[in-house]
Amino acid sequence: MGQQNMTMNTNHIQIKRMKNNLKVAMNEYLTDRQKQILTMYYFEEKTMEQIAKELYISKPCVSITLKRAKNNLKKIKKFM
């Protein structure tokens, strides 16, 4: 049981570190619009259609912005 708790604690620390690194990467390497759309899509779990309606933009615009944001984040693998 002690080993299991230690493993869970280690996983929790790793997840927390990854989230912090992702926030730093988003703030440094993404535009405000990219951050907004990425947050809505992945963290708020909204569909592209919902995002498009909320932001008064087209669905293809949401898709392109998401793709560019992901590509920007992939460039900095140390954050992923």
Q: What pLDDT tens digit does each residue of the chain (80 aa) get?
A: 556 666 667 888 888 888 788 888 888 899 999 999 999 998 899 999 999 999 999 999 999 999 999 999 888 765 55
Split into its structural domains, the chain has a count of 1
pTM exceeding the 0.85 threshold for the entire prediction: no
Residue 80, classed as helix, strand or coil, is coil
Domain that holds residue 36: 2-79
**Domain containing residue 31: CATH number:** 1.10.10.10
